[in-house]
Amino acid sequence: MPLPGVDVGEVGKKLAMAVVNQGFLGLKNVRIPRTNKLIKYAKVDRDGIFTASPASRVNYLTMVYTRCLIVNLNSALLLQAATIATRYSAVRRQSPIEPKSSAPLMADGIEQLRLSTGGHGNHIVANLSNIYGNAVAAYTYESENSVLLLQIGRALVKAWASYKQAETLSSSYAYFETSMRLKEFPKWDNSWQCIVRALQYTAAHKTRIAFENLSQLIAAGQSQAVAANNTGIELTRDAEVSSSCNYCLL
């Protein structure tokens, strides 16, 4: 049993990832000694005054690492689903609708792969339902999906502000400079390079629009938080296009 004033438990059953505990902790009239707190970077002094970490990147280290891990794990899930569906389609035989014609194979995502195996894909022994459940849960591991897009949008706008002040940016934002040099997009040539340039060009201008809208609202007297909330649509669109751009580059 927990100590008096301590309320601890499990949130409840999930769609998948049952091996991961998601618990809650409530403290009422409980004093935690400073020696028992994780205060290597952020600190709370004896008077209860909180001091943030001097290195802002440290605050996001665990979160960014976790999200990178989610992407890596889900790529493995897609590989597993593709392997199961491919082996199934290689072994199973079915007469085509028309003689001497080949039946189409669906291989675009885990759900399509599951459907391509017919009733077999719905069996527990196929493991596709478990893979699908784990992959679907990844959309909201770190919060509601639009909240994640807003976080990305705010990071892009912050980088754009640094770009406008001629500060040195990481290579991830190098497309700001190359895209803004273009007065208009060059002739389309159907190449992969052209696709990437088009996405970079669009992403850069989406970031510019979000930055300008945010700046106008702040200049009109709104606080940073309120202005960011009222720029939510622009920030979300910016994040979606920039994510597509990075996906193509990878």
Please state, as a whole number, how many other Cβ atoms lie within 10 Å of the Cβ of residue 75: 11
8 Å CB contact between 142 and 148: yes
CA atoms within 13 A on the CB side of 164: 12
Q: Which of 191, 199, 180 is nearest to 241 (CA)?
A: 199
164: tokens are 């406008």
Grouping H, G, I as helix, E, B as strand and the rest as coil, residue 203 is helix
Active site residues per annotation: 142
Where does residue 203 rank: exposed (0-12), middle (13-18), buried (19+ CB within 10 A)?
A: buried
- Asked whether the beta carbons of 127 and 77 are under 8 A apart, the reply is no
Judge whether 243 and 153 are in contact, CB under 8 Å. Answer: no
- DSSP bridge pairs for 25: 8
Task: Please report which residue ranges of the chain form alpha helices under DSSP H.
Answer: 56-91, 110-116, 128-137, 145-164, 175-180, 192-219, 224-230, 232-249
CA angle 53, 56, 60 (to 5 degrees): 105
